């Protein structure tokens, strides 16, 4: 059997599905998480700068480098393990430690990232988190610790993955600048399952933060959209009542339409990314299979109360922007149609005037032609009479009789010649 020819990307595409495995974590342990994004133009950034920054961290520990063009990396750096991932707009660093600090959520844990290295990172911090993973003992111990570690007002606690663990977070930034996440692992839970829980919690925090960029964008553009809405309504009122020249109103509509289309183009990526990030947040929460713990709100309930309204605002603003653009376009089309109708009426009147002038010119031309026949005939008869006068004496005719006899033939001849010339011209 001849060999089957593979697509050049067959193995690359198949391996991509297995390229980002979940970490395997033994309890107790801790994790430090960092997400970095360029302030502007993150999607089109120079990814080599991200790779160079990662290599600078690896070189401090003598760790091996990733493959050129890699979008993920997992390896040992000293006594820690590092997981690095490159995404469309950001990169993430997660460092795992097999030990717990004596002080819960100790800011010193973040010193695994050197200060001078952080100062040189090609971007800004979007979010960072300290994660504490410890064994689950009893409900009272869990409640005592979450009351000590988190802000009660926004605290979310839930059982996940069929009682495999209890997770807790308050989604607030502490005094050291980090989010806090606690994971209490039930006895018998495998290390890979623990790794999946930790990874999903990191993703929830990351994509929640990234999707809120859309909300921030909406807040910035809402005043301008309100102003454009008022301008558009005013121009449509003018168009309805005919208070201003149509050309002036049309110019205003075209200016608004152009600005709206420009806004749609500049915000389409952010709105699309926000929708994608929101879907990931809800999907990651769904796969945790949450159950209520001691009457506390779950992660899903927190998102429903605090996060979902922001996302609905983004979607409503996107719909409003699209609606404004459509209104401006329809109003412009209606006004252009009205202007075209007015111009057609003006052109019709102009054509009617030209027709009247043409008819007058035609009548004048015919009058001139008639006069020309008379004038030419007069001179023709005179010339003919002079030419025939010697013969008139031979036949006994005087000059008057001769002129009378020549008049009709000469007139008919002149009339026929002018008609023939006119026919050739036309």
C-alpha to C-alpha distance for 146 and 47, rounded to whole angstroms:
39
- 129 beta partners: 33, 179
C-alpha to C-alpha distance for 310 and 289, rounded to whole angstroms:
24
Which letter does DSSP use for residue 295 in this model? T
* Among 120, 42, 127, 117, CA closest to 86: 42
- What is the arithmetic mean of pLDDT over 230-258? 76
Quick check: 277 and 138 in contact, CB under 8 A? no
pLDDT tens-digit map of 182-216: 999 999 999 999 999 999 999 999 999 999 999 99
3-state secondary structure of 130: strand
pLDDT tens-digit map of 158-183: 999 999 999 999 999 999 999 999 99
C-alpha to C-alpha distance for 38 and 50, rounded to whole angstroms:
10
Domain ranges of the chain: 20-190, 211-343, 369-425
Least confident of 63-72, 104-113, 154-163, 344-353: 344-353
Res 7: pLDDT: 85
Integer-rounded Cα radius of gyration of the chain = 45
The total of other beta-carbon atoms located within 10 Å of residue 120's CB is: 11
- 181 beta partners: 131, 169
Q: Which residues touch 407 (CB under 8 Å, ≥6 apart)? A: 377, 381
C-alpha to C-alpha distance for 167 and 199, rounded to whole angstroms:
12
Helix/strand/coil percent split, the chain, to 5: 60, 15, 25
* Among 108, 78, 114, CA closest to 96: 78
- What is the arithmetic mean of pLDDT over 150-161? 95
Residue 1 pLDDT greater than 60, yes or no: no
- 82 beta partners: 75, 95
C-alpha to C-alpha distance for 350 and 343, rounded to whole angstroms:
10
* Among 319, 289, 320, CA closest to 159: 289
Longest CA–CA span in the chain (Å) reads 157
Encoding tokens for residue 79? 């006594």
Res 357: pLDDT: 82
Strands (E), 42-135: 72-77, 80-86, 90-97, 124-135
371 confidence band (pLDDT: 50, 70, 90): low
Which letter does DSSP use for residue 152 in this model? G
* pTM, 2 dp: 0.77
């Amino acid at each position: 059997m001849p060999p089957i020819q593979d697509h050049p990307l067959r193995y690359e595409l198949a391996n991509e599905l297995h390229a980002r495995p979940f970490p395997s974590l033994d309890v107790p342990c801790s994790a430090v998480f960092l997400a970095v994004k360029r302030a502007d133009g993150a999607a089109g950034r120079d990814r080599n700068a991200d790779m160079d920054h990662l290599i600078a961290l690896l070189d401090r520990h003598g760790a091996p480098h990733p493959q050129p063009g890699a979008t993920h990396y997992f390896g040992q750096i000293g006594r820690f393990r590092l997981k690095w991932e490159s995404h469309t707009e950001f990169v993430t660093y997660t460092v795992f430690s097999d030990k717990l600090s004596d002080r819960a959520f100790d800011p010193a844990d973040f010193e695994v990232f050197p200060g001078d290295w952080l100062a040189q990172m090609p971007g800004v911090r979007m979010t960072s988190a300290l994660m504490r993973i410890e064994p689950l003992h009893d409900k009272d111990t869990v409640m005592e610790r979450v009351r000590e570690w988190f802000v009660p007002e926004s605290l979310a606690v839930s059982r996940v993955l069929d009682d495999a663990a209890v997770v807790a977070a308050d989604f607030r930034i502490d005094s050291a600048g980090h989010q806090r996440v606690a994971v209490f692992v039930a006895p018998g839970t495998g290390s890979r399952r623990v790794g999946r829980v930790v990874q999903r919690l990191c993703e929830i925090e990351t994509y929640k933060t990234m999707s809120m960029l859309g909300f921030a964008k909406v807040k910035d553009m809402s005043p301008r959209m309100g102003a454009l809405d008022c301008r558009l309504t005013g121009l449509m009122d003018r168009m309805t009542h005919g208070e201003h020249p149509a050309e002036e109103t049309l110019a205003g509509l075209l200016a608004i339409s152009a600005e709206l289309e420009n806004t749609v183009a500049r915000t389409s990526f952010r709105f699309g990314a926000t929708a994608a990030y929101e879907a990931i947040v809800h999907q990651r929460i769904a796969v945790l299979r949450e159950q209520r713990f001691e009457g506390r709100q779950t992660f899903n309930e927190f998102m429903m109360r605090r996060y979902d309204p922001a996302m609905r605002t983004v979607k409503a603003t996107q719909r409003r922007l699209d609606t404004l653009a459509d209104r401006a376009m329809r109003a412009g089309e209606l006004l252009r149609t009205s202007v075209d109708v007015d111009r057609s009426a003006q052109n019709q009147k102009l054509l009617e005037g030209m027709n009247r002038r043409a008819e007058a010119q035609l009548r004048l031309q015919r009058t001139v032609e008639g006069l020309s026949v008379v004038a030419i005939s007069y001179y023709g008869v005179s010339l003919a009479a002079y030419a025939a006068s010697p013969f008139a004496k031979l036949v006994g005719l005087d000059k008057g009789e001769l002129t009378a006899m020549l008049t009709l033939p000469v007139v008919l001849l002149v009339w026929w010649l002018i008609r023939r010339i006119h026919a050739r011209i036309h």
